[in-house]
Amino acid sequence: MLTLLYNRVTELAASPRAIWWLIVVAMAEASVFPLPVDLMLVPMLLANRERAWLLATVCTAASVTGGLIGWVLGAFLMKHVGMPIAHFYHADQRILNLESMFRHYGVWIILAKGLTPLPYKFVTLAAGAAHFSLLPFIGASIVTRGARFFLEAALLRTFGEPIRNFIEKRLAIVLMAALLLIGAGIALVELI
C-alpha cells in the first residue's frame, strides 16, 4: 500500500496541478498522511529550481495549516480520531509520551521534531491533546517547518540533482547533529 501511495505522490509532483497537490499533501502529512511531503517537494524543486522559494513558502504554510488540523484533532477528537490515527501507525504509547512531554518541554519538542523526518503528525496530535498553547505552537511550527523546507529548497536550487541523494539519505542525520549541538549549547548555558 505504501509503495502505491509513494508512486502516486511522485506522479502528482509532475502533474500540471502539482502546487495544489503539494498543499493537500503537506496539510495531510502534518495531521494524518503516512508519507513525508518531501516526496513531492523534492521532485518539484528539481523540476523548477527558479520557483524554489515559492514552493518552500507554500509547503511551509500548508504544513503549518495541517499542523493546526492535527492540533484540533488532538485537542477535541483525540479519543475518537487522534488515537485511531496513532494506533494505525502503532504509536499509541508514543502519543501518550509526547503528550506528557509537552507539559514540560512544549516548544522544544516542536522545534526538534519538526526538523526531523520523524512524523510531525504525532507532534501535532500530542500538542493538541496536551492543550499546548496555540500561539507558541504556530510560531515554533513556522520556524521548524520553514527551516526544513527552505533548507531543502536552498540545497536543491543551488546543487540540483546531485544533492537529491543526500537529502533523501543523510539530511536527517545532519539535522539531528545540529539539533544535538543546539541542545548541548542550551544545556551548557543553563549550567553556567
Q: What is the pLDDT at residue 79?
A: 75
63 band by pLDDT with thresholds 50, 70 and 90: very high
pLDDT per residue as tens digits for the range 112-164:
776 665 678 888 888 888 889 999 999 999 999 999 899 889 988 988 877 77
Domain ranges of the chain: 2-191
Measured in residues, the chain has a length of: 192
3-class DSSP string for the chain: CHHHHHHHHHHHHCCCCHHHHHHHHHHHHCCCCCCCCHHHHHHHHHHCHHHHHHHHHHHHHHHHHHHHHHHHHHHHHHHHHHHHHHHHCCCHHHHHHHHHHHHHHHHHHHHHHHHCCCCHHHHHHHHHHCCCCHHHHHHHHHHHHHHHHHHHHHHHHHHCCHHHHHHHHCHHHHHHHHHHHHHHHHHHHHHC
pLDDT per residue as tens digits for the range 13-48:
778 888 998 999 899 988 887 778 888 898 888 888
pLDDT per residue as tens digits for the range 65-92:
999 999 998 888 877 777 787 788 787 7
pTM of the complete model: 0.76
